[in-house]
Amino acid sequence: MAEENKVKLHGMWASPYVKRVEIALKIKGIPYELVEEDLVNKSQLLLQYNPVHKKVPVLIHNGKSICESLVILEYIDETWKNGPPLLPQDPYKRAKVRFWTSFVEKELLENVLLVVRSEGEAQEKAIKVVFEKLNLLEEGLKDLFQGETHHIDGENMGILDIFLCSLFGAHKAQEEVLGVKFIDPEKFPLLSSWLTASTEVAVVKALQPSHEKLVMVYQFLRQKALQPSAAEVEVKEGVYVSSLSRSSAF
Amino acid sequence: MAEEEVKLFGTWGSPFSRRIEVALKLKGVQYEYIEEDLTNKSPALLNYNPVNKQIPVLVHNGKPVAESFVIMEYIDETWKHNPILPADPYERAMARFWAKYIDEKFWPAAKKTVVAKGEEQKGAIDEIQQQMKNLEGELKEKKFFGGESLGFLDIAANIIIWLVVAQEALGMDQILNEEKLPVLHGWLHRLLDDAVFKECVPPKERHLDFFKVKFGSSIASK
């Protein structure tokens, strides 16, 4: 058997984008070295491997770098064919999964971030949009699951499951910081039960930061956005992020 | 072999729906084209894409697929001859990465170069120039991003033509000029010369008129 080339992942513990890649690597059983980046003081390697966006996650495999979490996930699925597939086989089912994954990324994530970063009337508006999008997703799930119970375990988590729990795995922390309950089982029964099942998967559970840490992350993102002074933020960011990193390991 | 029914809902002026036309034509897939009036969307469109109610939508044997890159991947996986994406996973990742870059970074900045004024416009122009240099880095010596023939990224990059036409319509200096961006400039001309691709761009005069009407009043003074 040919020896697998070393896999490295440049990441940051609080990033949901990095989390997606870690879940995928673990589901496939791919050993990797995690390089923790200080996003205030990015490593030369990171800037070299992702000169265009200068962001995490970056996957290094066979000496080549791949960036953007969705692109990385598709790369992982196409390169390591031995582990459980991250996408279904059928082209039409694949198209549906890709469509909803794009929806979670562009329509849901963007608007949740808007809620985090705004207040007053702007925030009210953003919250309304998130609920509209969640409604659409709930409807979409009826079509996607087609009456079958979508059974999730370590064997059949796919890119949509991964994207969803990377965003709403932190829903309790989001609720605490924002005072809004997005994942309401009465409003969104399919979504709630799907999310619960996803976050119970051993691999996902092991990678999830503690509730306290997630609350700090969301509080930090909110403060940073609503903070008037940029200079103050930069200093605070360095101290805050480092202190978050140094606090108890998870 | 069972009869295939392929329909494409699109608009003549949308780069996103034109992408699908290129993909289908490269594969030699017969399809019915339905021109949508976006101010008065058809019940069929709203039925096939209730989520974002947008074109393009591909309907294959009654089953709808939406979002241009999702549709392009579907087309490539369903009709396997004349592949649009390369075989190698790393090359595929590069095509997807740069296609995403074009829609998420290039397109918003491109729009700004046309509608913004003063410093904001200048900033957008500088940004676009850098982005196109980045794209040149991916193209290198190749005839097309896809190699000898058109591929996923060439199709995705069709949107560059929309910027070129808009700038021409508004009498602006071309950002994509031979002096500053020789590699991409050469690529663009090869693209517009390609037998399949050239059928899938809006008619020039109509496109110019469209931009003059849409952005004419917001031409920044020189």
pLDDT digits (tens, 9 = 90+) for B38-77: 999 999 999 999 999 999 999 999 999 999 999 999 999 9
ipTM for the complex?
0.94
On the question of pLDDT at B219 being above 70, the answer is: no
What pLDDT is recorded for position B56?
98
Confidence of residue B4 (pLDDT cuts 50, 70, 90): confident
pLDDT average, residue stretch B144-173: 96
On the question of pLDDT at B216 being above 70, the answer is: yes
Q: In what order do the strands lie in the sheet with B32-35?
A: B32-35, B6-10, B57-60, B63-66
Place of tokens 């595929």: B92
| Nearest neighbour of B74 by CB, restricted to A91, A102, A103 | A91
Q: Do B92 and A72 make contact, defined as CB atoms within 8 angstroms?
A: no
What pLDDT is recorded for position A150?
66
Chain B hits for A64, Cβ within 8 Å: 90
- The shortest C-alpha distance from A73 to chain B (Å) reads 10
SS (H, E, C) chain B: CCCCCEEEEECCCCHHHHHHHHHHHHHCCCCEEEECCCCCCCHHHHHHCCCCCCCCEEEECCEEEECHHHHHHHHHHHCCCCCCCCCCHHHHHHHHHHHHHHHHHHHHHHHHHHHCCHHHHHHHHHHHHHHHHHHHHHHCCCCECCECCCCHHHHHCCHHHHHHHHHHHCCCCCCCCCCCCHHHHHHHHHHHHCCCHHHHCCCHHHHHHHHHHHHHHHCCCC
Q: Do A72 and B93 make contact, defined as CB atoms within 8 angstroms?
A: yes
d(CA B10, CA B21): 9
pLDDT digits (tens, 9 = 90+) for B99-133: 999 999 999 999 999 999 999 999 999 999 999 99
Q: Do A92 and B67 make contact, defined as CB atoms within 8 angstroms?
A: no
- The shortest C-alpha distance from B85 to chain A (Å) reads 13
What pLDDT is recorded for position A1?
37
Q: Which residues of chain A have pLDDT under 50?
A: 1-3, 230-232, 235, 245-250
Closest C-alpha to B215, from B163, B157, B161, B160? B163
What pLDDT is recorded for position B222?
41
Mutant choice from A60, A64, A71 vs B, greatest count of B C-beta within 10 A = A71
Is-contact A159 A97, C-beta < 8 A? yes
Confidence of residue B217 (pLDDT cuts 50, 70, 90): low
